[in-house]
Structure 1
Amino acid sequence: MIIGAILLIIVIVIVTAYLITLETNSNRAQRHYGKIIATSSFTILVIVVFVGYMFITYFK
């Protein structure tokens, strides 16, 4: 479970970096860096909370 969570977080970081590079190379005036980073941070936080909850209930 931990390995799966770590791999999922790594994939989220890679996708976030890819989306930020797409935004950097875009010609549009409107940038969405904050939305991209906020979404990825929230997703990582949800994964960490879920794995923590699973550990607490497993070792209880």
Structure 2
Amino acid sequence: MDGSNSLEKAHNITLEVTEAIRTALPSSEVIVHQDPVPKEKLDMLIKLKQKTLSALTDKRI
């Protein structure tokens, strides 16, 4: 999570992530923990997120 985000924005992002996981894995229990990350590391994390969501969508996990 971008460390410069407001608490409200961080909360909204967490809700979106939680809902995406629950949609992909309906019987799952989801807990999301937010850690502030410097902006320079966000690109790597975004690519990882996209790869993970793609794998979940393709049901390869």
TM-score with structure 2 setting the length: 0.39
Q: Indicate the structure (1 or 2) with the bigger Cα radius of gyration.
A: 1
Greater helix fraction, Structure 1 or Structure 2: 1
